[in-house]
Structure 1
Amino acid sequence: MISSDFPRSAVTHPTGGDRGRVPGRRVRALGGSLLAAGLLAATTVGPAGHPTIAAAQGRSVVGLPDEMTAQWRNPSVREDDAASDIGIRLESPLENLRLGTKQIVSVTIVNRSNEVVEDLSLRLQRANAVADTAAARLALTDDQSAYGYTGPFTDVPTPLRPGASVTIGLPLDTTPDSPAGLGIGEPGVYPVMINLNGRPGEGIIRYLTSERFLLAVDDPDAAPHPSVAPGITMLWPLTAPTGLLAGETGEAPLSAPLLLENDDLAAQLQDGGRLDQLLDTYVDATSGESGSALREATCLAVDPQLIDVVDRMRDGYTVAAERPSPVSGTRRLRDSWRADSIPPDAEQPGAGAAAADEWLNRLRAAAGQGCTVALPWAGTDINAVTRTGNQWLVREALSRGTSVVARVLDTEPEQNLVIPLSGYVTESTAAWLPLADTTAAEDTVNPESAWENLQRNELPTVRRSTDTAALEDPAMPDPYPLEPIPAPAAGVRVLVTDNSVWNAPTSGRFAGLGAGVTGVTYQGSLAATLAATGPEPLTVGYSNPETRHDPNLDSDRARLTTGTTALRLAVEAARGEAVPTGDGAPVPEAPEPVLVVPPVAPTAPADSAELLATVARLLESGQARPLSLHEATTPDADTEAALARSTESADAERGESRFGAPFPDPSVPSDGEVLAATQQSNYMNDLTQLMVNDPGIALTRYEFMRPLMLDLLRGLTVIGRRNAEEYAAATAHANRIFTLNREMLERLQSSVALLPPGYVYTRVSQSSPLLIVARNGLPLPVDGRISYHGPPGSVVHVPDQLWIPAKGSIMTQMTADLPTEPDKVTLMLRLSGSQGSVVSDPVEITVQTQGPLIGLLGRLIIGALVIALIIRLIQTKIVRRIRGARGTVGQR
């Protein structure tokens, strides 16, 4: 059963009410069907072709324009709460209460307004029990009148001055038919609301705001009903920003020195840091015999960039503000005089080498005891990466992580499993997914081997352009592969939400997304609810816009309570019924497993630990059974065959929407970011193709360029983009990565160049050669070609091949057939790759094209005649003076 967020037909709006009565329902500004119609009518095409909701009334998000705010937060959901400057914070844990018990709920009220608030009072209200997580998410956005079961009001000491807070206890009674209770007569999951009334300033007593959460109520005395526990699998994400300074290039035989922008990662790895606590929590919960079930039901989902950087940190690293150029020449003496002018704090040694070593050793031990799977590199958005149309960038995103996890953690991670952090894949992305087959031959799986294999077979590896360097190409790429990618030998699986495969062929929880590519669905509504937990709650692109509101309207504790309760609700809803046979013996019906995908974000360790503890309790109680990630994501032979037949018969026209983002996703990278990644990755391919591997040099051309490619994946990361308050900062950081990466590429570009002569060539004849110097600052030889552009009738005879040694230069000569009119001809010369890609800036050469009689030879002859005439005149004058002097002497 699909229990995702889907539009409903009736939507209400939260209202306030006078003390002591339940206010009447008033209709939301946009009813359910009207809202759906309004969203469709008021959409425009946004990044990645997704529709964007038009601007609407509502509180803006700092750093975002109003039209983007409306995509993050439906302005008609809990609008009174959003407009209030009075906040409620739940302080008590409320998971899994027992029927017939009483509890005091601790609540803190905070006055963030500029007015004194008086006559404050609180009460608990509840709505009807919900059957699944999708219904629960909708109920939490309902009008207050839907919470018709109320408890008594509790007065709050007032006045509450601006900036002040007060904590009080509210009675929560789950006793059936209790006058002070909420009318809870049977176990279930109930949406609960804490209603706050008060009189701000000189106004009247009215509704101010609410705090909402899901409450699970159990009856331990109830007889167990015959059912079959579903299997459960939970990912345990380990991700963190690494602070890697962009613009790195490869080195060999040793790796390049590690440069970080800051030392924040070291703080997370040290004792008590976030990553330290996350790993400790997992190890403690899954160790020994008591943790065996939880260990089987969980899998470490590791960011390969994180463990790669941590591995390098162990050998020491530097915190620096900028990266030196790998192609700069030897520093001149006069430059060294200025060395003391560099700020002393521009570079400093990192302090986390020991912590990195200790943490990585513990992680390696944990990975060896259970399941491990690689997340996309740096949490990159797979859909954005495939939009670049660059095969090698896609290969790095899909296959690099698995090999890095295997190398660093010395374990065999789950193979051929893609986990898009966006929660969905587009049609064009699915066409690239066969490249995620990590079980194929080495020359196919390894990006560098695949590159060199294509080079040996003289197949094109980069797009061809003789007019514009890729770094300046303004055209958006075609997101589909240039040639269809063959189906993988072993099937590729991709985790997607159940509401993102609306028109794809399905068999149970599996969906056919292409030849050899299977979508494994998980509950989008549960994942969206879990994503809203933690100090940086997320708004995911697959969530129903009707449920999108500011998650910070509810406190961290309330959202965590909702998350753990939703997890229990999902397991309960998935339980299979025991169907009796003719002889009365029950035959279990196999239930669908529950895949728990927590938010891949810098979550608080305590919140993550509570989710893990909830899974452990479900296993201990027998409400769920452990299921390995491999078993949960691998279809059986019959399902595979059925999907293969359905996929072939449903071979859709290119561009037809069968799956993808079910709703507008405000967190996707923009066209500008995708274009920057496209330009830079294509130019990296051009430079890689320009270089030549040398047996005498340990570094290969692909190794030299790979770190720059991985930088682009960091720039397109999902992490940080799905929180409205952090979105602007995340995009600014991505822009910094693209900027630093481009600056490095420009340095590399300028290091391989034709050097202009700096003067005008004057030729004696048409056969006179033109001389030009070619320079190469790269650490590998360059195999280039000279291309030219000149006026009509110009023909330049360039060398067939221009081999420039590593970090060296050569002088080459050309001959040219040039028109004699006009007197001067300007030629534009550029250095290109062997496949025609432009890699250098143009160089102008001006050639004097005069004929031989008035050319250089003519000038020399005329000059010689003039000089001879002058000499003759001087000689004549001297002879005359001598003769005149002799005549004078004779007369004396």
Structure 2
Amino acid sequence: MLAVAPVAAPPLGAAQPGSIPFLRVQIDSVTPDIVTTTSDQMVTVTGTISNVGDRAVRDVVVRLERAPAVTSSSALRTDLAGNVDQYQPVADFITAAPELARGQQVPFRLAFPLRSADGSSMRIDTPGVYPLMVNVNGTPDYGSAARLDDSRFLLPVLGVPPQEAQEGQDDGVAAAEALESAVPPDTTRPVGLTMFWPLADRPRLAAGAPGGTTPVRLIDDELATSLAPGGRLDTMLTAVDFATSPEVDPGGAVTRALCLAVDPDLLVTVNAMTNGYVVNDAADAGPRTPTHPGAGQQAAIDWMNRLKTLAARMCVAPTTYAQTDLDALNRVADPGLSSIATTGSGGIVDQILGITSTRGASLVGDGPLTASAVQLLTAQGPTVAVGAANLVGPEETADGMAETADTRPIRYTPNVVAAQFDPAVGAALAGVGPAPESPSYVDPSLDISVKQDSAAARRQDALASLLWRSLHPETTPRTEILMPPLMWNLTPQDAQSILTAVATSIRAGLATPRPLPVLINDANAAAVDAPLPTGPLGNPRGRFDAGVVTGIAAATGRLWGLTAALTTDERTGLTGYQYTAPLREDLLRALSLSVPPDARNGLAQQRLTTVGRTVEDLFNAVTIVNPGGSYTLATERSPLPLALRNDLPVPIRVRLDIDAPPGMTVTDMGEIVLPPGFLPLKVPIEVHFTQRVAVDVALRTADGVPLGEPVRLSVHSNAYGKVLFFITLTGGAVLALLVGRRLWHRFRGQPDRADLDRPDPIEVALSYRDDETPADAGAGRRARTAPGGSDA
């Protein structure tokens, strides 16, 4: 190809990379991806240059450049962005295309030996990690020649292959010299390697569905695709299953270095899918949303069976439930919810997989290990927290120099030891695959944009980063934890390359397997005391808002209050704790770090709103039936009839709160176990008035938490009041006295003074004539009787 002199003209503002894009360079392949002493001397880089601008570009030229070997872990990030002064050309520019029209592409191929006695070469003669850059220059229409784009990647060199024999050299001499010219790595201080292989997913169970709800409901059916052959979770499981098989790993070294990091929420979801499930027609709707049948039942069954087989022969460690952000969870300040997210995860994994998972480690996940997270873990008992070390870029350091993460184990509290991994390495692993992300624990000074880089370039960065510490025996400590993002999305080629790199480092003597139980013991033994982390750690974009945290705290408190009142349904065996458990898990899912930072608060608020509505419905499902009319009490001790309704599938312990008016006494019925359905009650009361009154009746749990809506009853009493009672009593006493007096006089044969003005009934009877009526007789008698009582 035509050699072109380097472009020295000062670039125009319009032609600066990152302003108005004209060209884009993508790396398609790097061969070999890891250089060893048995590799070919020639390193080949292929790629594509595309015109993405609004005009043609002439004189498109390309060359390969190299920077010195990386000497600090932060440089694994910073050398891939920003300043290009450290890069020196490997050879002159070569022409990729005389002119590249809008939308056109042109491939390129750059091949150079690592070292050469004559001609162009990379001048690499010692093992290490070397940054390489493909630099593309061109002249846009109406502009001047300038650097229009570049693509950078890391090349891991585990060993320098022998130099090629010179022409005409004797074969025996050439072979001897070649053998001597090979530069193997320093294996005197191998690193103890522990790698977590994540099996996790974003929360997929629809929010707001209490326990016992069948079939289970998912927000979408993406998990069916992920579990099926070729899907993300299938790829993750297949790759680690193959790499740890006895045929591929006969000595078991790779198997001992690996540990499955399993999210309990994923297991709960997949296990539920094996019994059939439905999918919401609307992703953001509640439990009343229309659904359609899910398509992944068989895929879930097959995947779960394969995982159980794999888990039986290798290390398994649970993550926090649903990858909950421990910093935000500590701000929620609910001990019960914190326990479910941490210490409760292992039991779920063991129950579903039928194994005993490795305990003693807390996998913090993709968030920073803040003081708040340490405080939460401290309350849960002794543990080793696997989290990212604190590391910043050169511009944030006092001397402006790149630094290497200090990954020594640290004891923050008597209960919490931090086993730290290098965040630069973790971020490089997070950049692999079709959906690269930057974990929340990465400081903004190390947060470089990797989405514009090709999959091949990002894979190279990950391979080099995980091997970097092995190639630098002077770094301490001589241990390394590889912690990829829990939502790792790898292609089969990515997964194979990374597991091959791990196996290569072990077989080359650069690393030795360090099983997780050994890591836990070593961390507890070697930890140095340190104060709690201070200041804002990680990327502030990933922090959950105070509104979300406050809302979760309020919903959790109400939910615990209801759960304390629920009992066990003897017919189904469903307990109150089991019935409300999915709603608590929903609140943990709202704080999941598996959601991209920019979407976390929005999706958390959406899930919280749905759970809040369901919790409110549960409280309103236990009510007093409003009769709609009035009660009439026949007597002063007539009971007050009530009917209670429980629409929950489990019994609940309740108390009646009756606001009685003066003159009414209500007998406390104590704690009532209200079964599902209706329960008629007769409340003993005593009324001392005759009138219509209003009686307010409310329902509460045994601990006083209000249930349902209060009911106002209209009660009419016909009972005697106190005044009428005393009047009646007085009248009865007077009547008894008068009767007694009359009987007294009669027994003594004395006329009652009350009868003196009345005629004697016997005399009246004797004065009747046979032909007279009593009235006539009386009249005749009165006529014959003279005044004064004497006869005429």
Q: Which one-letter code corresponds to 1:132 in the other structure?
A: S
| 1:543 corresponds to 2:442 | yes
1:45-56 → structure 2 map (5 Å cutoff): none
| 1:422 corresponds to 2:366 | yes
**Is the 8 Å Cα contact of residues 388 and 441 (structure 2) preserved in structure 1?**
yes
1:877 is matched with which residue? none
**Is the 8 Å Cα contact of residues 20 and 53 (structure 2) preserved in structure 1?**
no
1:313-352 → structure 2 map (5 Å cutoff): 313-321=273-281, 346-348=291-293, 350-352=294-296
| Aligned equivalent of 1:197, options 122, 133, 137 | 137
How far the C-alpha of 1:133 sits from its partner, in A, is 2.0
Q: Deviations over 1:698-743 (max 9, x none)?
A: 1111011111111222221111324xxxx33x55544443333233
2:504 is matched with which residue? 617
**Is the 8 Å Cα contact of residues 116 and 201 (structure 1) preserved in structure 2?**
yes
Secondary structure at the residue paired with 1:658? coil
Q: Which one-letter code corresponds to 1:207 in the other structure?
A: R
1:552-567 → structure 2 map (5 Å cutoff): 552-567=451-466
Flag the 1:765–1:812 CA change in 2: closer, same or farther, 3 A. Answer: closer
**Is the 8 Å Cα contact of residues 804 and 810 (structure 1) preserved in structure 2?**
no
Secondary structure at the residue paired with 2:18? helix
Secondary structure at the residue paired with 1:81? coil
How far the C-alpha of 1:830 sits from its partner, in A, is 4.1
**Is the 8 Å Cα contact of residues 208 and 286 (structure 2) preserved in structure 1?**
no
1:110 is matched with which residue? 50
2:384 is matched with which residue? 493
Secondary structure at the residue paired with 1:91? strand
Q: Distance in 2 between matches of 1:851 and 1:83?
A: 93
Q: Distance in 2 between matches of 1:243 and 1:389?
A: 25
1:395-544 → structure 2 map (5 Å cutoff): 395-434=339-378, 436=380, 488=381, 491-499=382-390, 509-544=408-443
Secondary structure at the residue paired with 1:145? coil
Q: Distance in 2 between matches of 1:112 and 1:538?
A: 24
Secondary structure at the residue paired with 1:146? coil
Q: Which one-letter code corresponds to 1:572 in the other structure?
A: L
Q: Distance in 2 between matches of 1:386 and 1:818?
A: 56
Q: Deviations over 1:501-530 (max 9, x none)?
A: 99xxx9982222223221111112211222
Q: Which one-letter code corresponds to 1:617 in the other structure?
A: T
Q: Distance in 1 between matches of 2:140 and 2:11?
A: 23
Q: Distance in 2 between matches of 1:763 and 1:497?
A: 73
Flag the 1:797–1:362 CA change in 2: closer, same or farther, 3 A. Answer: same
| 1:243 corresponds to 2:204 | yes
Using CA pairs under 8 Å that are at least 6 residues apart, name the structure with larger relative contact order, 1 or 2: 1
**Is the 8 Å Cα contact of residues 198 and 488 (structure 2) preserved in structure 1?**
no
Deviates more, 1:414-423 or 1:700-709: 414-423
Q: Distance in 2 between matches of 1:117 and 1:24?
A: 17
Q: Distance in 2 between matches of 1:780 and 1:667?
A: 39
1:801 is matched with which residue? 671
1:592 is matched with which residue? 478
Flag the 1:661–1:173 CA change in 2: closer, same or farther, 3 A. Answer: farther
How far the C-alpha of 1:166 sits from its partner, in A, is 2.3
State the TM-score, normalized to the length of structure 2.
0.76
Secondary structure at the residue paired with 1:222? coil
| 1:601 corresponds to 2:487 | yes
Unaligned runs of 5+ in 2: 162-181, 398-404, 722-792
| Aligned equivalent of 1:294, options 250, 254, 269 | 254
2:468 is matched with which residue? 569
Q: Deviations over 1:244-299 (max 9, x none)?
A: 22222223xxx843333333222222222222222221111111164111111101
1:142-161 → structure 2 map (5 Å cutoff): 142-149=82-89, 151-157=91-97, 159-161=99-101
Flag the 1:542–1:265 CA change in 2: closer, same or farther, 3 A. Answer: closer
1:445 is matched with which residue? none
Q: Distance in 2 between matches of 1:678 and 1:129?
A: 50
Q: Distance in 2 between matches of 1:758 and 1:272?
A: 62
Q: Deviations over 1:16-71 (max 9, x none)?
A: xx971468999xxxxxxxxxxxxxxxxxxxxxxxxxxxxxxxxxxxxxxxxxxxxx
Q: Distance in 2 between matches of 1:680 and 1:249?
A: 14
**Is the 8 Å Cα contact of residues 241 and 265 (structure 1) preserved in structure 2?**
no
Unaligned runs of 5+ in 1: 1-17, 27-77, 329-341, 437-487, 578-589, 651-656, 854-892
How far the C-alpha of 1:541 sits from its partner, in A, is 2.6
How far the C-alpha of 1:789 sits from its partner, in A, is 8.1
| 1:746 corresponds to 2:746 | no
Q: Deviations over 1:783-824 (max 9, x none)?
A: 12345789999998764334322232334548699999xx99
Q: Distance in 1 between matches of 2:99 and 2:545?
A: 48
1:20 is matched with which residue? 6
1:131-150 → structure 2 map (5 Å cutoff): 131-149=71-89
2:551 is matched with which residue? 676
1:717 is matched with which residue? 592
1:158-237 → structure 2 map (5 Å cutoff): 159-175=99-115, 180-217=120-157, 218-220=159-161, 221-222=182-183, 225=186, 227-237=188-198
Q: Distance in 2 between matches of 1:525 and 1:508?
A: 12
| 1:832 corresponds to 2:700 | yes
Q: Deviations over 1:323-373 (max 9, x none)?
A: 9x9999xxxxxxxxxxxxx98xx432x333333222222211211111111
**Is the 8 Å Cα contact of residues 286 and 295 (structure 1) preserved in structure 2?**
yes
Flag the 1:136–1:223 CA change in 2: closer, same or farther, 3 A. Answer: closer
1:87 is matched with which residue? 24
Q: Distance in 2 between matches of 1:214 and 1:701?
A: 56
Q: Deviations over 1:545-583 (max 9, x none)?
A: 22223221322211110110111112223x369xxxxxx
**Is the 8 Å Cα contact of residues 156 and 463 (structure 2) preserved in structure 1?**
no
How far the C-alpha of 1:827 sits from its partner, in A, is 7.5
| Aligned equivalent of 2:645, options 766, 775, 786 | 775
Q: Which one-letter code corresponds to 1:271 in the other structure?
A: P
User: Which of the two has higher C-alpha Rg?
Assistant: 2
2:655 is matched with which residue? 785
**Is the 8 Å Cα contact of residues 174 and 181 (structure 1) preserved in structure 2?**
yes
Flag the 1:149–1:827 CA change in 2: closer, same or farther, 3 A. Answer: farther
Q: Distance in 2 between matches of 1:82 and 1:533?
A: 26
State the TM-score, normalized to the length of structure 1.
0.68
**Is the 8 Å Cα contact of residues 425 and 661 (structure 1) preserved in structure 2?**
no
Q: Distance in 1 between matches of 2:184 and 2:606?
A: 61
**Is the 8 Å Cα contact of residues 555 and 612 (structure 2) preserved in structure 1?**
yes
Q: Distance in 1 between matches of 2:448 and 2:697?
A: 58
| Aligned equivalent of 1:274, options 223, 232, 254 | 232
| Aligned equivalent of 2:338, options 394, 398, 403 | 394
| Aligned equivalent of 1:810, options 661, 680, 683 | 680
How far the C-alpha of 1:84 sits from its partner, in A, is 2.8
1:461 is matched with which residue? none
Q: Distance in 2 between matches of 1:829 and 1:297?
A: 65
